[in-house]
Amino acid sequence: MTDHSGPRRTRPPTMKEIAERAGVHVSTVSRVLRQTEPVDGWSEAAKRVREVAQELGYQPNLWAASLRTRRTTTIGAVMPRLTDGVVATVYQGVEQAAREASYSVLLSSPPDDPDAQRQAIELLTGRQVDGLILSSLHSPAAEFVRRLKLTVPAVALNRHAGSGLPFAGGDDRLGGALAGRHLLDCGYRRIAAVGGPLFATTGHDRLSGFLDAMSDAGVRIPDHRIAHARMDVQGGIDAARSLLTRDDRPDAVFCVSDTMAIGLLGVARDLRLSIPGDLGVVGYNDIPVAAQLPVPLTTVVTPAHEIGAAGVRLLLGMVSGTAPQPDDVRLPVRLVVRGSTARQR
């Protein structure tokens, strides 16, 4: 059988060949193939060059390019608890935004403790990444970052803890306030809250916003109705056992994460408390299972994917020098009301 497909290319195309096929000058090809902006920002000629390069099987020599520019077009990402659905969604945003900018990502997901994080950061820095995305920094983060002696730009995601680094995250104070106002609007008054561990500034900000809303409404939350626990199911269980077994049991609880709220709902079920009649519950993050629970969970929606993407955009602005001192990014959040809360009589 005769192959009529023509001779097969045995070597990568040259820029001259791409230029001839695209009908542009070689210098245009060179400039376009060095660009990292998203496709929407390219001219028609630039798009044509990219299309021809792809058709001809062009592969950039990243090693040679890194020698010329002293950049590797690679960023490092340190993201503990990647098995957490919210963290995983944040990473998807990181990876997509990096890919759209023609960057690759070296990911490390160490245990959620300072020593493991430091080792991961040092390892990635040794790989000569152009910058770092640092998720869930521990407190006191400023001291932690100072000891790292970072040699590349870095951006903090989620927990910032006063690190001094540019930060991308949701507006957690607003989210906590939205939860508090909603419970008050429903008529709950014996309200409790479950905050995260002290080093988790996301939980701290959410709790602070919630308490501000209570204070603004003239509602005082006594100390015994504020619990701190790990931001997972077991943390919610532990907090619920201390809050829901008291004689002056609360009639509503705000949890700074959905996983905590799920643990608390399990204890409420064991205590035969009806939701939302005996107990209203609000979570945070809107994880996929939140809407599928036996009593769907009222929660605050945080834009996890966009947080990751915003962090990359901040970082690449620093790498390129276009944003040497970028402003923090606080993305809007919103409350979604479901069956775990209802207006009280």
Are residues 297 and 233 located together in one domain of the fold?
yes
Are residues 231 and 318 located together in one domain of the fold?
no
Exposed, middle or buried by CB within 10 Å (0-12, 13-18, 19+), for 3?
Answer: exposed
Other CB atoms within 10 A of residue 279 CB:
25
Residue 136 inside a domain? The answer is: yes
- Nearest alpha-carbon partner for 131 in 154, 149, 151, 160: 154
What is the pTM assigned to this prediction? 0.76
Residue type, 295: V
User: Residue range 223-228: average pLDDT?
Assistant: 95
CA 311/CA 118 separation, integer angstroms: 20
The total number of structural domains that make up the chain: 3
Structure tokens at 252: 């509503």
Q: Examine the pLDDT at 8 and tell me if it is beyond 70.
A: no
Residue 5 inside a domain? The answer is: no
Are residues 137 and 120 located together in one domain of the fold?
yes
Q: Examine the pLDDT at 60 and tell me if it is beyond 80.
A: no
pLDDT band at 2; cut points 50, 70, 90: very low
- Nearest alpha-carbon partner for 285 in 89, 83, 91, 82: 89
In a 3-state reduction of DSSP, which class is residue 172?
A: helix
pLDDT band at 118; cut points 50, 70, 90: confident
Task: Identify the pLDDT of residue 172.
Answer: 94
- Mean pLDDT of all residues in the chain? 85
Among 38-47, 71-80, 194-203, 211-220, the least confident range: 38-47
Are residues 254 and 180 located together in one domain of the fold?
yes
Q: Examine the pLDDT at 71 and tell me if it is beyond 70.
A: no
Are residues 216 and 245 located together in one domain of the fold?
yes
Q: Examine the pLDDT at 40 and tell me if it is beyond 70.
A: no
- Nearest alpha-carbon partner for 170 in 318, 328, 298, 9: 328
* Residue 54 belongs to domain with CATH number: 1.10.260
Among 21-30, 109-118, 142-151, 229-238, the least confident range: 142-151
* Residue 77 belongs to domain with CATH number: 3.40.50.2300
CA 211/CA 248 separation, integer angstroms: 19
Q: Examine the pLDDT at 67 and tell me if it is beyond 90.
A: no
Report yes or no: 203 and 231 within 8 Å, Cβ to Cβ. Answer: yes
CA 89/CA 250 separation, integer angstroms: 33
Domain of residue 33: give its range: 15-60
Among 42-56, 113-127, 141-155, 251-265, the least confident range: 141-155
CA 151/CA 144 separation, integer angstroms: 14
pLDDT digits (tens, 9 = 90+) for 198-213: 766 788 899 999 999 9
Residue 1 inside a domain? The answer is: no
CA 137/CA 142 separation, integer angstroms: 9
Report yes or no: 18 and 53 within 8 Å, Cβ to Cβ. Answer: yes
Are residues 98 and 134 located together in one domain of the fold?
yes
Task: Identify the pLDDT of residue 1.
Answer: 43
pLDDT digits (tens, 9 = 90+) for 83-105: 888 899 999 999 999 999 989 99
